[in-house]
């Protein structure tokens, strides 16, 4: 009897009592992943390093994968796309990098018809990978917790970045946007193959953060996405962000050509030389040097390798393409201090004990608005210092610096995108949020709230995966975010789905503009209206009407 109980107990604990996918047939061949146990009768089938396209040619669109014989063991992440390291001193990764990873939650019976969420990573179009940012031995973007808790399939994908992903001549010779085409190829692969993994191809959501959010936004606006997916989420970035587009790609290409010894008066010869150059040298030539700023520009100016209006994937100004996005349900938001990381470089005194001066604030505004000459500075400083009084607390001035960068780089473009989407959509929904959980990054001043990218650890369920390094309030927040996000993927409404939410999140419409403030304490008072509308209208009405400076030549 005891023996029998023991056997029963072992069977009961054995994760094989949860259903398992085993070997899956894809269009390229058979793939086999591995299973991770989440709890009783709950596992996640993980497939890492599944190819969605062939090894790409340099500055060519991705091509279909030729396929393989036998069973491809999808048990390890593949290389990231060739890129500079975070410190910009070396390169890492490979040209053979067009792979994706799939996380499928399983219960007692095999999952079918699950909603599918495809994640596009951030990294300024310069670096990053589907398995980026190692946190305690696992990737920040590991999809297991979100898949298991939300009952959705998570897919994370690689795409080309840096010089190889985004260099462009601004015309048909080298159109650019290779990284966006990679994303499109990955999303299309998921659409064609995910049913075999238990997903519903008619129920796909794409989501991303920072440059990944800008990418999601471009995928929504591109005419190539018609009917490809149903919903989209942008976290801290949209195609209207001032850093989302390279508007003078040939000047940048010439600069890169100089660095790799390919500068030639004849442009065709120069482009031919670039096409024969060493990919590692080209990648290094795309690195950024913060020291070059010397107080003249702002960090934003250094983010040069970016998508371009190519007349094809992006046929026009993003603001003219919102009719293409009208079919998708859309959820978008920002972190309350998204601009802090940029502000800390542009105005270093904000993070030190030194007072930040009015001159420093004015100088920042002048650099951010240099497209208008000096015309915008008086009105901008008036708007941003209106609440200061005669002798503002040092922290108030520092926080104003962060507000300026957050508004300019993230908040205002996101509000404009939400409005254009809500106005164009007929039937599709729109939702707006502000994530303002206090920072967990040690060493920052006390007034710092949610820094850029701090939302991701909660969305990807790190407080559950690593309970010892988080507090219960972090798990509450993580649970709320996973619930809203995966409900939205399931139904197009963050309130309806398999997960309970702490407070109803009303939709954003042209005339009724609520936003949900997301943190660990959520109640009815988390719903507010017209996010920073005074500042939004300054930038979209007053500022945008100022004439642009005539001669906008960039110093090379």
Ligand X SMILES: *[C@@H]1O[C@H](CO)[C@@H](O)[C@H](O)[C@H]1NC(C)=O
Task: Say whether 363 is catalytic.
Answer: no
DSSP state of 142: -
Residue (of 408, 436, 435) closest to 342 by Cα position: 408
Structure tokens of 536? Answer: 């939004």
Decide: is 512 part of the binding site for ligand X (CB under 6 A): no
> Which residues sit opposite 47 in a β-bridge?
102
Told to judge if 281 belongs to the known catalytic residues of this protein, a careful annotator would answer no
| Smallest distance, ligand X to C-beta of residue 75, A | 28
115 sits near ligand X (criterion: CB under 6 A) = yes
Query: Is position 420 an interface residue for ligand X (rule: CB under 6 A)?
Result: yes
- Tokens 């939709």 identify what position? 507
Name which of 321 and 481 has its Cβ closer to ligand X.
321
Q: Is 373 in the site for ligand X (CB under 6 A)?
A: no
Cβ closest to ligand X, residue 54 vs residue 493: 493
> Shortest distance, CB of residue 186 to ligand X, whole angstroms?
21
By CB under 6 A, tell whether 113 contacts ligand X: yes
35 and 43 Cβ atoms separated by less than 8 Å = yes
Look up 338 and say whether it is catalytic.
Answer: yes
- Binder of ligand X out of 89, 266, 390, 391 (CB under 6 A): 391
Query: Count of H helices and E strands in the chain?
Result: 19, 18
SS3 call for 330:
strand
Which residue of 423, 512, 521, 549 would you call a contact of ligand X, by CB under 6 A? 423
Applying CB under 6 A, does 349 fall inside the site for ligand X? no
Using rule CB under 6 A, residue 490 touches ligand X: yes
| Interacting residue with ligand X among 322, 328, 480, 535 (CB under 6 A) | 322
Alpha carbon distance 383, 229 (integer Å): 41
CB-CB contact of 270 with 263 (8 Å): yes
Q: Binding of ligand X at residue 400 (CB under 6 A)?
A: no
Stretch that binds ligand X, among 68-76, 197-205, 453-461, 543-551 (CB under 6 A): 197-205
Asked if 317 is part of the footprint of ligand X (rule: CB under 6 A), the reply reads no
321 binds ligand X (CB under 6 A): yes
- Interface region with ligand X, contact rule CB under 6 A, candidates 1-9, 341-349, 399-407, 416-424: 416-424
Q: Which is nearer to ligand X, 279 or 394 (CB)?
A: 394
Task: Quote the least distance from Cβ 521 to ligand X, whole Å.
Answer: 30
CB of 383 to ligand X, least distance (A): 21
* Nearest by Cα to 324 from 475, 179, 217, 193: 217
Contact at 8 Å (CB) between 68 and 49?
A: no
- Rounded CA-CA distance 138/58 in Å is 31
Q: What whole-number distance in Å separates Cα of residue 460 and Cα of residue 264?
A: 48
Per DSSP, which regions of 240-349 are E strands? 329-335
Minimum distance between the CB of residue 122 and ligand X, rounded to whole angstroms?
25
Minimum CB–partner distance for residue 224 and ligand X (Å): 16
Give the footprint of ligand X on residues 198-257 (CB under 6 A): 200, 202-203
Minimum distance between the CB of residue 201 and ligand X, rounded to whole angstroms?
9
Structure tokens, 440: 């967990």
Q: Are 318 and 240 in contact (CB under 8 A)?
A: yes
HSE-up of residue 94 (Cα within 13 Å, Cβ side)? 9
Identified catalytic residue from 130, 168, 210, 499 = 210
Is residue 539 packed enough to be buried (19+ CB in 10 Å), middle (13-18) or exposed (0-12)? buried
Residues in touch with ligand X (CB under 6 A): 113, 115, 200, 202-203, 320-323, 355, 391, 394, 420, 423-424, 490
Residues annotated as catalytic (active site), given as ranges: 210, 338, 452
């Amino acid at each position: 009897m005891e023996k029998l109980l023991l056997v029963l107990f072992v069977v009961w604990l054995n994760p094989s009592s949860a259903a398992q996918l085993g070997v899956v047939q894809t269009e390229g061949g058979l793939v086999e992943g591995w299973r991770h146990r989440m709890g009783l009768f709950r596992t996640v089938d993980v497939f890492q390093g599944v190819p969605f396209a062939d090894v790409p040619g340099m500055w060519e669109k991705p091509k279909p994968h030729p396929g393989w014989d036998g069973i491809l063991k999808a048990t390890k992440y593949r290389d990231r796309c060739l890129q500079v390291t975070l410190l910009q001193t070396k390169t890492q990764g490979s040209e053979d990098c067009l792979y994706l990873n799939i996380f499928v939650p399983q219960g007692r019976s095999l999952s079918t018809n699950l909603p599918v969420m495809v994640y596009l990573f951030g990294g300024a179009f310069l670096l990053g990978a589907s398995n980026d940012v190692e946190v305690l031995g696992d990737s920040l973007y590991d999809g297991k917790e979100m898949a298991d808790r939300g009952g959705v399939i998570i897919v994370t994908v690689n795409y080309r970045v840096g010089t190889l992903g985004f260099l462009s001549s601004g015309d048909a010779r080298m159109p650019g946007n290779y990284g966006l085409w990679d994303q499109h190829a990955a999303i299309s692969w998921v659409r064609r193959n995910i049913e075999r993994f238990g997903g519903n191809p008619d129920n796909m959501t794409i989501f991303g953060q920072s440059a990944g959010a800008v990418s999601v936004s471009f995928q929504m606006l591109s005419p190539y996405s018609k009917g490809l997916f149903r919903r989209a989420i942008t976290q801290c970035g949209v195609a209207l962000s001032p850093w989302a587009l390279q508007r003078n790609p040939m000047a940048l290409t010439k600069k890169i050509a100089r660095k790799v010894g390919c500068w030639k008066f004849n442009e065709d010869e120069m482009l031919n030389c670039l096409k024969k150059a060493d990919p590692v040298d080209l990648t290094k030539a795309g690195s950024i040097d913060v020291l070059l700023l010397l107080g003249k520009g702002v960090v934003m100016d250094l983010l040069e390798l970016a998508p371009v209006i190519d007349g094809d994937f992006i046929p026009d100004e993003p603001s003219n393409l919102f009719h293409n996005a009208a079919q998708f349900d859309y959820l978008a938001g920002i972190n309350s201090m998204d601009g802090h990381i940029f502000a800390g470089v542009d105005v270093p005194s904000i993070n030190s004990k030194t007072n930040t001066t009015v001159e420093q604030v004015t100088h920042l505004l002048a650099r951010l608005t240099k497209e208008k000459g000096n015309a915008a500075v008086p009105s901008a400083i008036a708007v941003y210092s209106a609440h200061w009084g005669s002798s503002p607390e040092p922290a108030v001035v520092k926080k104003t610096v962060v507000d300026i960068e957050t508004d300019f780089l993230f908040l205002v473009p996101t509000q404009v995108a939400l409005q254009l989407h809500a106005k164009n959509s007929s039937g599709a929904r729109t939702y707006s949020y502000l994530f303002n959980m206090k920072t967990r990054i040690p060493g920052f001043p006390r007034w710092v709230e949610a820094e850029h990218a701090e939302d991701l650890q909660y969305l990807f369920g790190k407080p559950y995966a690593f309970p010892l390094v988080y507090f219960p309030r972090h798990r509450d927040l993580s649970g709320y975010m996973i619930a809203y996000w995966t409900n939205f993927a399931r139904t197009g409404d963050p309130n309806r789905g398999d997960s309970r939410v702490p407070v109803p999140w009303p939709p954003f419409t042209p005339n009724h503009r609520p936003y949900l403030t997301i943190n660990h304490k959520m109640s009815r008072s988390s719903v507010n209206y017209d996010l920073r509308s005074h500042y939004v209208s300054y930038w979209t009405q007053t500022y945008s009407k100022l004439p642009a400076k005539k001669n906008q030549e960039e110093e090379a």
